Amino acid sequence: MNKFLIPFLGSILLCSNMMVAQDKWSSNRADGHAPISIMGDHTHHKGEFMVSYRYMPMWMDGLIEGNDAIENRKAFDNYMAVPQDMRMDMHMLGAMYAVCNRVILAGILNYIDNDMDLRSRMGMNFTTESSGFGDIAVNALINFYDKDRQKIHANLGVSIPTGDLEQSGDTPTMQNARLAYPMQLGSGTLDPSIGVTYLG
Ligand SMILES: [Cu+2]
């Protein structure tokens, strides 16, 4: 009798352990992670360390005023030079480290490469460029709920304005002119961010 009882009890124990394991949120499934552009979607177990590299190219063109597309002609009423298109390449270096199961630190540093084609009011086409390291974002992810295969963590962070704001280049009207805001590498301000992430 005992011969059968022991494996039987053993399998019940295993199953109950599995039930406990299944109680917790797991990112092991194929859909367990958010799309790559979403930062801070997951946390780590104590002592785990992760480094990441993400690359994001972006193309922009066209002019709008409010919600309406406008022609160059209209923009020249107010501006000496008007952007025609812009390309931005962002290289994002990230690191995560779990201090304990509850608190995970994450940092992101961007390297940015910008190119902007412009046209002057006199009809001259020219290009401006800027590149360098952008702002540094430091985040803490704090786990506070993990039950019934649902998990909630808080995202508390701050973006530190380390990116250069003095990027300059030559334009038809001025040598070494300070470039427009979208060509600068940082926001220039200390930006806090607060979020809550729910996984289920
Ligand atoms: Cu990670």
Instruction: Give 167's contacts (C-beta < 8 A, 6+ positions apart).
Output: 130, 132, 178, 179, 183, 184, 185
The 10s digit of each residue's pLDDT in 121-150 is 999 999 999 999 999 999 999 999 999 889
Residue 165 is predicted with a pLDDT of: 95
DSSP 148: T
Instruction: Write b or e for each residue in 138-152: b if 16 or more Cβ atoms lie within 10 A of its Cβ, otherwise e.
Output: ebbbebeebeeeebb
Tokens of 149: 């295969």
State the average pLDDT over residues 159-187.
Answer: 92
* 96 Cα to the center of ligand 1, angstroms: 5
β-pairing, 81-98 vs 68-70, is: unpaired
Residue 15 is predicted with a pLDDT of: 43
The 10s digit of each residue's pLDDT in 8-21 is 555 444 444 444 55
Residue 17 is predicted with a pLDDT of: 47
Angle at 165 between CA 139 and CA 105, to 5 degrees: 10
Mean pLDDT, the chain, whole residue set: 89
CA–CA dist 86, 115 (Å, integer): 6
State the average pLDDT over residues 116-125.
Answer: 93
Q: What is the pTM of this model?
A: 0.77
* 99 Cα to the center of ligand 1, angstroms: 13
Percent of the chain scoring above 70 in pLDDT: 89
* 17 Cα to the center of ligand 1, angstroms: 26
The 10s digit of each residue's pLDDT in 80-115 is 899 999 999 999 999 999 999 999 999 999 999 999
Residue 16 is predicted with a pLDDT of: 47
Residue 183 is predicted with a pLDDT of: 95
> If pLDDT is split at 50, 70 and 90, which confidence band does 25 have?
confident
Residue 23 is predicted with a pLDDT of: 83
Residue 172 is predicted with a pLDDT of: 86
Residues near ligand 1 ion, CB 5 Å cutoff: 50, 96
* 44 Cα to the center of ligand 1, angstroms: 6
Is the pLDDT assigned to residue 67 strictly greater than 70?
yes
